[in-house]
Chain A
Amino acid sequence: MTVSIVVVSHSEKIADGAVELAAQMAPNVVILAAGGTGDGRIGTSLEKVMAALDKAAGGDGAVILADLGSAVMTAESALEFVDDPEKFLLADAPLVEGLVAASVAAQGGADVEAVKRAAEAVRGPAHGGDAGRQVVEEGSVTGQGPDFTGDFEIINQAGMHARPAAKIAGGLSALAADVTVNGADGASMTALMTLAAGKGSVLHVEAWGADAERAVNYVGGLVQAGFGEP
């Protein structure tokens, strides 16, 4: 089983399109659209959201992403009616990027908390930030070096594009480790993409925390396998 995702948008087309986009990267994840009103207008419907949550109820929980203010309010309202609220979490994240990151994390087997974190990890760049690059300062602040490191050369033709970045960020979000890749936050898909690391460039991975070694090996495994691409 995997965590399901529910997309709440004012527009049925936005919700359906976002689901279509995310499904490309997460074929085994149930991603449900709850867009527009029951009669096909712009707006949000409690009934639609609750129907989606109902469909997701049998699984390992669901993470909800919403677009604008009242979609968030409708999602929050729906959460007041669910039987086991700890299984359903509303992510505070930009809809499309958050959805893709969440879907990839769910595809990687992350639990509901980790899927929510994966969605929210993309929000730095959407709020301005330093060209999307989120540097984890932990090591430099505490003066403690990383618990585990590794250097891996990119071998696939296309380098670090969206799908590899999503794979790295998605998998790392399920691990108990803070990870940087060439200084960028490893759990942030957008931060990884802004590295613009092409074929032949070397990724320096540093990790802190209980799963530090697993995290570095996870990234290394993906990179060395060319992310499953030519």
Chain B
Amino acid sequence: MVLDAAWAVKWLNLCAEAMAEHRVELIELDRAIGDSDHGENMDRGFQAVVAKLGEGTPETPGAALKLTAMTLMSKVGGAAGPLYGTAFLRAATSLGDSAEIDPGAWAEALAAARDGIVARGKAEPGDKTMVDAWTPAVDAARAAADGGSADVLAVLVAAAEAAEAGAVATDPLVARKGRASYLGERSAGHRDPGAASSALILRAAVGAAA
């Protein structure tokens, strides 16, 4: 399995499928502690990404991610737009013009994406945000890639599993950033919608390579 432009396009299409499939679930999560638009916004944003990808085939994974970044920033509307937009943009910059992504490069692209989210949203781990999915994903991807023997699929899986665990771990947290922070203690007991959608995105990356 190589992570090339075709893989990236498949990944982004699977992201769109995942957002459509989990739209109501994300809306419900966001209704509990936010403004209930996350599922709708992510669905709309990735449908727009699919439409853009249909207009022409990107030549590199980086080009596909950059196109995604610009589309999400313009079409999502909520905070997820600039946050995911920045994440995909920084990942695209990290990958540069490479035709294929090796395990180390994937780990570093995830780190760049996470750093972009942190720079844009000013959240720290434990604030009950998407950072709580991305940071363990970065750590797991780096650990898997540093093993040396790891094939790229193993690194994708490690990142997705860590993001899913990270999203679940936001359940008991009290939100300190974003719209949910207005709820204070009442935000505990609900999963962060952004962490949940982040896990879906990284799980789709596995699906595209399988």
Q: Which A residues are closer than 8 A to B by beta carbons?
A: 37-38, 41-47, 69-70, 73-74, 76-77, 80
Q: How far is the CA of A44 from the CA of B41 in the complex (A)?
A: 11
Q: How far is the CA of A80 from the CA of B77 in the complex (A)?
A: 18
Q: How far is the CA of A69 from the CA of B78 in the complex (A)?
A: 10
8 contacts between A and B (CB under 8 A): A43-B37, A45-B77, A46-B74, A46-B82, A47-B74, A73-B79, A77-B73, A80-B89
Q: How far is the CA of A143 from the CA of B32 in the complex (A)?
A: 56
CB pair B83 A41 closer than 8 Å = no
Per-position contact with A for B27-44: 1 when CB-CB < 8 Å, else 0? 000000000010001000
Closest 6 CB pairs of A and B: A43-B77, A70-B79, A73-B82, A46-B73, A47-B74, A37-B77
Q: Which B residues are closer than 8 A to A by beta carbons?
A: 37, 41, 70, 73-79, 81-83, 85-86, 89, 120-121, 178-179
The CB with the most chain A CB atoms within 10 A, among B70, B73, B79, B83, is that of B73
Chain A residues closer than 8 Å to B78, beta-carbon distance: 43, 70
Q: How far is the CA of A79 from the CA of B153 in the complex (A)?
A: 36
- Closest A residue to B71 by CB, please name it: A46
Chain A residues closer than 8 Å to B76, beta-carbon distance: 43
CB pair A38 B75 closer than 8 Å = yes
Q: How many A-B contacts at CB < 8 Å in the complex? A: 52
Chain A residues closer than 8 Å to B89, beta-carbon distance: 80
Q: How far is the CA of A93 from the CA of B178 in the complex (A)?
A: 18
B26 to chain A, nearest CB (A): 16
Given A45-B75, A46-B81, A76-B120, 11 more contacts at CB 8 Å? A43-B37, A43-B41, A44-B81, A46-B73, A69-B178, A69-B179, A70-B78, A73-B82, A73-B120, A77-B85, A80-B89
- Closest B residue to A42 by CB, please name it: B77
Chain A residues closer than 8 Å to B83, beta-carbon distance: 73
Chain B residues closer than 8 Å to A41, beta-carbon distance: 77
CB pair B81 A74 closer than 8 Å = yes
CB pair B81 A43 closer than 8 Å = yes
The CB with the most chain B CB atoms within 10 A, among A44, A73, A76, A80, is that of A73
B31 to chain A, nearest CB (A): 15
Chain A residues closer than 8 Å to B75, beta-carbon distance: 37-38, 45
Chain B residues closer than 8 Å to A44, beta-carbon distance: 77, 81-82
The CB with the most chain A CB atoms within 10 A, among B41, B76, B86, B179, is that of B76
Known contacts A76-B120, A77-B86, A77-B120: A70-B74 contact under CB 8 Å: no
